[in-house]
């Protein structure tokens, strides 16, 4: 009887293996050449889930198998001689260098491999985990595939391969809001505030003034940054729930001839008030100002066209509507505006927009260590955002928002900003009498929903964001719980 060697590593044993062994047994008695643990570590780069002895024990109990012998990754003539083998059976991915007359190639069983089983297990694990519904305004709920994309081989970010990833990311992020011919994205390791701080501290010339519209906590934060860095700024205070009075804003511009830049928040995350970029862009154009936009909670959901809307600089981050992980803040900017920054001494060492920009052109690298795994998650998030399309993403978010606000009306709960000026992304809701936010938070948290406190001092509110990998059904589940909670507590 012929002795037939079937070589395999069988780290996760499945029906593809047994079918192969059965077929091989039709040619003689089957000897399994089982790859040793050392070889798997060295050639495949991972620890086998089952060690050699365990794999051997399983294989020996299969009726088609006569014997199991240890082999290295590749089989050569010496191995055949050592075990007195007549034929070697292998799948159609054979790279064993042996005489063709002794080789039998069988196609692999379709749809199964140890690798695909491993991926399925990881996917199921990540999906189970991902069902925490984040109703806070970012970091948002992410897809299982975004979570899994962070599990990558270790890589030094100074390698060209990583530089290529960053260049691709920069281009793709730009194309969501502008034309890559005239605009580019400067990436920083840091949260969204890092991007805002990089803009403000790099852009305003020392002999010029910055006009900041403050109609919420994030407009106020821009004022705090300007103050901290001694940037000459004018604070234009505006209602946190009503649209900006554009006539008054224009008067302020006219009265202050030294203003060179106008800074605004697009979607004030404090309330969900959506500032009108078309109007602000027109005003900036009329008075030859550069418009700076913090689009942290609108970018990649509400369509933005930087060129049409006359926006010179826009800040956003990796963990809100783009649906990636936290850790990258970025500034999308007009290349011609960035070039002009050469003349302005940066106020910050780390967050120097011009130096980060010029260094990236030369090297495709951030100046300092980037958040490596976050960059891989961002890549996957961009792929998924493009697949869904920004307009469709906003439709999905809007549909969740309609579900939310209809539900609130049924529960007789009121929210701060009129629908007409609402971003449909985050809603600031009045807390009804007799309800304690912390208690409500803990109730929802235990049930897998994270809700968020309000941020406007004069109103007792809580916030619900409808961004991330969630949809109107998740909002419906939240509303059912909310009704139950209010019924139990009031």
Ligand X SMILES: Cc1ncc(COP(=O)(O)O)c(C=O)c1O
Q: Which residues, in sequence order, are bridge partners of residue 32?
A: 6, 68
Decide whether 347 or 455 has the Cβ nearer to ligand X.
Answer: 455
Instruction: Rule CB under 6 A: say whether 269 interacts with ligand X.
Output: yes
Q: Work out how close the CB of 248 gets to ligand X at its nearest, in angstroms, rounded to a whole number.
A: 22
d(CA 226, CA 222): 6
Q: Work out how close the CB of 398 gets to ligand X at its nearest, in angstroms, rounded to a whole number.
A: 18
CB burial readout 75-91, b (16+ within 10 A) else e: beeebbeeeebebbbbb
Decide whether 34 or 265 has the Cβ nearer to ligand X.
Answer: 265
Q: Identify each DSSP E strand in 110-198 by its residue range.
A: 133-134, 183-189
d(CA 329, CA 340): 22
CB 289 within 8 A of CB 211: yes
Instruction: Rule CB under 6 A: say whether 25 interacts with ligand X.
Output: no
Q: From the list 185, 193, 275, 427, which residue makes contact with ligand X (rule: CB under 6 A)?
A: 193
Residues numbered 69-108 forming contacts with ligand X, rule: CB under 6 A: none
With CB atoms as reference, the residue minimizing the distance to ligand X is: 192
Q: From the list 25, 185, 191, 365, which residue makes contact with ligand X (rule: CB under 6 A)?
A: 191
Per-residue binding letters, 367-386, with ligand X (x by CB under 6 A): --------------------
Residues numbered 313-352 forming contacts with ligand X, rule: CB under 6 A: 317
DSSP assignment string, 244-302: --HHHHHHHHHH-TTEEEEEEESEETTTTEE--HHHHHHHHHHTTPEEEEE-TTTTTTS
Decide whether 31 or 225 has the Cβ nearer to ligand X.
Answer: 225
Q: Identify each DSSP E strand in 36-118 by its residue range.
A: 65-71, 87-91, 103-106
Q: Work out how close the CB of 272 gets to ligand X at its nearest, in angstroms, rounded to a whole number.
A: 11
Instruction: Rule CB under 6 A: say whether 271 interacts with ligand X.
Output: no
Which range touches ligand X (CB under 6 A), out of 292-300, 347-355, 401-409, 465-473?
292-300
Among residues 191, 210, 214, the alpha carbon closest in space to that of 200 is found at: 210
CB 11 within 8 A of CB 50: yes
Decide whether 68 or 196 has the Cβ nearer to ligand X.
Answer: 196
Which range touches ligand X (CB under 6 A), out of 77-85, 185-193, 438-446, 468-476?
185-193
Q: Work out how close the CB of 365 gets to ligand X at its nearest, in angstroms, rounded to a whole number.
A: 22
Decide whether 141 or 297 has the Cβ nearer to ligand X.
Answer: 297
Element (H, E) at 35: strand 29-35
Could you tell me how many helices (H) and strands (E) the chain has, helices first? 17, 19
Which range touches ligand X (CB under 6 A), out of 188-196, 391-399, 416-424, 472-480?
188-196
DSSP assignment string, 432-462: PTT--HHHHHHHHHHTTEE-EE---TTS-EE
Instruction: Rule CB under 6 A: say whether 297 interacts with ligand X.
Output: yes
Q: From the list 290, 294, 384, 474, which residue makes contact with ligand X (rule: CB under 6 A)?
A: 294
Instruction: Rule CB under 6 A: say whether 214 interacts with ligand X.
Output: no
Q: Which residues contact 160 (CB under 8 A, 6 or more apart)?
A: 364
Residues numbered 414-443 forming contacts with ligand X, rule: CB under 6 A: none
User: What is the phi/psi pair of residue 73, to 5°?
Assistant: -60, -45
Say how many CA atoms lie within 13 Å of 252 toward its Cβ. 24
Say how many CA atoms lie within 13 Å of 461 toward its Cβ. 21
The C-alpha angle 276, 282, 283, rounded to 5 degrees, equals 90
d(CA 402, CA 475): 10
Q: C-alpha distances in angstroms, 490 versus 274, 416, 436, 446, 452?
A: 33, 22, 11, 20, 20
Among residues 459, 423, 460, the alpha carbon closest in space to that of 440 is found at: 460
How many of the chain's residues bind ligand X (CB under 6 A)?
13
Residues numbered 392-411 forming contacts with ligand X, rule: CB under 6 A: none
Among residues 340, 277, 327, the alpha carbon closest in space to that of 139 is found at: 327
Q: Work out how close the CB of 191 gets to ligand X at its nearest, in angstroms, rounded to a whole number.
A: 3
Q: From the list 137, 272, 371, 454, which residue makes contact with ligand X (rule: CB under 6 A)?
A: 137
CB 360 within 8 A of CB 170: yes
Q: From the list 162, 218, 233, 376, which residue makes contact with ligand X (rule: CB under 6 A)?
A: 218
Decide whether 12 or 198 has the Cβ nearer to ligand X.
Answer: 198
Q: From the list 59, 199, 265, 351, which residue makes contact with ligand X (rule: CB under 6 A)?
A: 265
Which range touches ligand X (CB under 6 A), out of 206-214, 291-299, 351-359, 428-436?
291-299
Q: Work out how close the CB of 33 gets to ligand X at its nearest, in angstroms, rounded to a whole number.
A: 54
Decide whether 270 or 352 has the Cβ nearer to ligand X.
Answer: 270
**Contact positions vs ligand X (CB under 6 A):** 137-138, 191-193, 196, 218, 265, 269, 294, 296-297, 317
């Amino acid at each position: 009887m012929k002795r037939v060697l079937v070589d395999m590593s069988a780290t996760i044993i499945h029906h593809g293996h047994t079918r192969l062994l059965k077929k091989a047994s039709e040619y003689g008695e089957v000897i399994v050449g089982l790859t040793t643990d050392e070889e798997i570590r060295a050639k495949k780069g991972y620890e086998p889930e089952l060690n050699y002895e365990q794999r051997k024990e399983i294989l020996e109990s299969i009726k088609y198998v006569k014997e199991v012998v240890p082999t290295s990754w590749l089989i050569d003539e010496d191995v055949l001689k050592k075990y007195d083998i007549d034929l070697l059976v292998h799948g159609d991915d054979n790279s064993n260098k042996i005489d063709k007359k002794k080789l039998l190639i069988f196609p692999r069983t379709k749809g199964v491999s140890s690798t695909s089983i491993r991926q399925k297990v990881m996917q199921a694990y990540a999906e189970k985990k991902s069902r925490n519904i984040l109703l806070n305004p970012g970091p948002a709920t992410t897809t299982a595939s975004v979570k899994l994309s962070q599990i990558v081989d270790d890589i030094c970010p100074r390698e060209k391969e990583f530089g290529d990833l960053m260049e691709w990311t920069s281009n793709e992020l730009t194309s969501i809001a502008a034309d890559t011919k005239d605009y580019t994205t400067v990436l920083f390791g840091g949260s969204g505030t890092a991007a805002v701080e990089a803009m403000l501290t790099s852009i305003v010339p020392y002999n010029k003034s910055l006009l900041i519209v403050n109609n919420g906590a994030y407009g106020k934060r821009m004022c705090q940054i300007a103050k901290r860095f001694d940037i000459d700024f004018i604070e234009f205070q505006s209602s946190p729930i009503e649209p900006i009075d554009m006539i008054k804003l224009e008067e302020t511009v006219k009265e202050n001839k030294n203003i060179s830049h106008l800074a605004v928040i697009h979607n004030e995350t404090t309330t969900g008030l959506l500032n009108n970029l078309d109007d602000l862009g027109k005003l900036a154009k009329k008075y030859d100002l550069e418009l700076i936009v913090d689009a942290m909670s609108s970018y990649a959901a509400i369509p933005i066209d930087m060129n049409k809307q006359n926006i010179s600089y826009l800040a956003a981050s990796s963990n809100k509507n783009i649906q990636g992980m936290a850790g990258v803040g970025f500034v999308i900017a007009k290349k011609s505006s960035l070039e002009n920054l050469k003349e302005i001494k940066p106020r910050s060492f780390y967050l120097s927009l011009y130096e980060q920009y010029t260094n990236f052109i030369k090297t495709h690298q951030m100046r300092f260590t980037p958040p490596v795994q976050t960059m891989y998650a961002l890549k996957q998030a961009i792929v998924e955002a493009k697949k869904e399309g920004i307009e469709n993403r906003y439709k999905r978010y809007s549909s969740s928002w309609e579900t939310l606000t209809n539900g609130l009306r049924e529960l007789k709960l009121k929210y701060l900003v009129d629908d007409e000026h609402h971003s449909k992304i985050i809603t600031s809701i009045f807390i009804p009498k007799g309800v304690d936010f912390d208690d409500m938070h803990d109730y929802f948290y235990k049930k897998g929903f994270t809700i968020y406190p309000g941020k406007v001092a004069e109103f007792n509110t809580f916030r619900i964001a409808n961004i991330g990998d969630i949809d109107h059904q998740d909002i419906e589940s939240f509303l059912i719980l909310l009704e139950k909670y209010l019924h139990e507590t009031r």
